[in-house]
């Protein structure tokens, strides 16, 4: 059995019910397309994340085994623009050359008969992904020095990414930066309308407020569009050293403060109710405050951050809509993951938080 193999990594789980595919068919399809993909294939699933599904492909056994990562969209009907594997693959083709923290992509397949959807395969990066709890290897949340390093690395790596010249990595024509923020707000409001399971007047009011109070955007940069601590991996012995950034399916060009707002939406100060279903451990001693994180971004980039409170509201609103979309699919039986049963009430709580965060 795969889960009995002592060589398997500990950051994966057996494939969740209903989220598997024919591993033998995949192995046959990938022969000759990936370096070293000749031995017997074992597939495990990475447990984190609520949207795209990510799997570890392990060819062979023992020290000679080679590993890759497969990415595919979530199950059920989804917004193609938000889960476009071809877009993510093309973005990574350029990014990994000019922004080495982006994993190298190897192969893209648009044939849904192989695993049930389009997918791509990229390199496996080894590091520590910090989710809601700081692991014991970094002090378990009790080491203020390690905690400060985690806070700084997520901001500094974002600043580093925003400094990449899109044209230099072949992404100078990615997206449509002009009018980006207005389209984003309108688009997320429309996504909420399509995924409603109950009337939420507050969400409608927030959408109007966001459209009525659009700030002027700074010069466009490359955007990740889901920047957060658990989309980074840090070195196993140094929480201040980023070794990889993941989840590039929404990468585009546009307003860089949208990335900062997405991040800060999950950034709760001591005494606040943590935001989201998997909040960052930002209340740990030594972690930067939300204001401190904003200041550090300004120091790293020189950008005016006076309008960041608006982007904080937008980031919180967007996070609520994401949860509502997932709950919509769950309620209709399009995905069976029991983790999603409470996301409707979680989304409602985030709409309330977004309203409370309005300046």
199 and 314 in a common domain = yes
Last residue of a domain, one of 123, 151, 182: 123
Residue 162 included in any domain:
yes
Structural domain includes residue 107 = yes
**Are 240 and 112 found together in one domain?**
no
Question: What pLDDT, on a 0 to 100 scale, did the predictor assign at position 284?
Answer: 96
- Buried b or exposed e, range 233-271, using 16+ CB within 10 angstroms: bbeeeebbebbbbbbbbbbbbbbbbbbbbbbbbbbbeee
Per-residue pLDDT at 2 = 31
**Whole-number Å distance between alpha carbons of 288 and 309:** 17
User: Of 300, 115, 320, 282, nearest to 205 (Cα)?
Assistant: 320
| Domain C-terminal end among 69, 94, 123 | 123
At 43, which CATH number? 3.30.200
CA 208 – CA 260 distance, rounded (Å): 22
Q: Flag whether 303 is in a domain.
A: yes
φ/ψ bin of 170: left (φ > 0), alpha (ψ from -120 to 50), beta (otherwise): left
Domain termination residue (choose one: 100, 123, 146): 123
Q: Please give the tally of structural domains in the chain.
A: 2
In a domain, 22, yes or no: yes
pLDDT per residue rounded down to tens, the chain (359 residues): 233 333 444 578 888 888 889 999 999 999 989 988 888 999 999 876 557 899 999 999 888 899 999 999 987 655 555 568 999 999 999 999 999 999 999 999 999 999 999 999 999 999 999 988 999 999 999 999 999 999 999 999 999 999 999 999 999 999 999 999 999 999 999 999 888 877 889 999 999 999 999 999 999 999 999 999 999 999 999 999 999 999 998 999 999 999 999 999 999 999 998 887 778 999 999 999 999 999 999 999 999 999 999 999 999 999 999 888 888 887 777 666 667 767 777 888 999 999 999 99
Contact status, residue 122 vs residue 105, Cβ threshold 8 Å: yes
Give the list of residues 6+ apart from residue 356 with CB closer than 8 angstroms, or none. Answer: none
Residue 128 domain flag: no
Residue 79: which domain range? 2-123
On whether residue 308 sits in a domain, the answer given is yes
**What's the confidence (pLDDT) of residue 338?**
66
Looking at the fold, whether 350 and 215 belong to one and the same domain comes out as yes
CATH code: domain of residue 273: 3.90.1200.10
Give per-residue burial for 17-47: e unless 16+ CB within 10 Å, then b: eebebebeebbebbeeeeeebeeebbbbbbe
pTM score above 0.85: yes
Report the pLDDT value the prediction gives residue 145, as an integer from 0 to 100: 98
Query: Is 243 in the same domain as 290?
Result: yes
> Do 54 and 177 have their domain in common?
no
Are residues 168 and 117 part of one domain?
no
The reply to whether 293 falls in a domain is: yes
Range 100-105 contact pairs with CB under 8 angstroms and sequence separation of 24 or more: 101/157, 101/160, 101/161, 101/242, 101/243, 101/244, 101/245, 102/244, 102/245, 102/248, 103/69, 103/244, 103/246
Token pair 């991996």 in the structure block, residue? 233
């Amino acid at each position: 059995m795969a889960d009995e193999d002592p060589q398997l990594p500990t950051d994966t789980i057996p494939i969740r019910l209903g989220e598997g595919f024919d591993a033998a068919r995949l192995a046959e399809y990938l022969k000759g397309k990936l370096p070293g993909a000749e031995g017997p294939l074992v597939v495990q699933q990475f447990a984190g994340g609520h949207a795209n599904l990510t799997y570890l492909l392990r060819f062979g056994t023992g020290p000679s085994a080679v590993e890759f990562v497969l990415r595919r969209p979530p199950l059920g009907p989804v917004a193609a623009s938000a889960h476009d594997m071809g877009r993510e693959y093309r973005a990574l083709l350029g990014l990994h050359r000019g922004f080495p923290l982006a994993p190298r992509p190897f192969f893209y397949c648009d044939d849904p008969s192989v695993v049930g959807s389009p997918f791509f395969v990229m390199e496996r990066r080894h590091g520590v992904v910090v989710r809601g709890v700081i692991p014991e290897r970094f002090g378990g949340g009790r080491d203020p020095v390690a905690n400060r390093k985690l806070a700084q690395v997520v901001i500094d790596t974002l600043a580093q990414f925003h400094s990449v010249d899109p044209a230099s990595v072949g992404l100078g024509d990615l997206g449509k930066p002009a009018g980006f923020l207005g389209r984003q707000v309108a688009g997320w409001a429309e996504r909420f309308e399509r995924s409603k399971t109950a009337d939420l007047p507050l969400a409608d009011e927030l959408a109007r407020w966001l459209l009525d109070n659009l700030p002027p955007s700074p010069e466009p940069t490359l955007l990740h569009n889901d920047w957060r601590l658990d989309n980074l991996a840090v070195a196993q012995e140094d929480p201040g050293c980023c070794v990889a950034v993941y989840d590039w399916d929404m990468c585009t060009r546009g307003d860089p403060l949208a990335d900062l707002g997405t991040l800060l939406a999950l950034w709760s100060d001591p005494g606040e109710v943590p935001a989201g279903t998997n909040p960052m451990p930002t209340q740990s001693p030594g972690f930067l405050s939300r204001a401190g994180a904003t200041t550090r971004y300004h120091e790293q980039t020189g950008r005016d951050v006076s309008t960041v409170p608006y982007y904080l509201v937008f980031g919180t609103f967007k996070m609520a809509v994401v949860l509502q979309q997932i709950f919509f699919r769950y309620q209709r039986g399009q995905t069976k993951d029991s983790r999603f049963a409470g996301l409707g009430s979680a989304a409602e709580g985030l709409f309330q938080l977004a309203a409370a965060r309005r300046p």
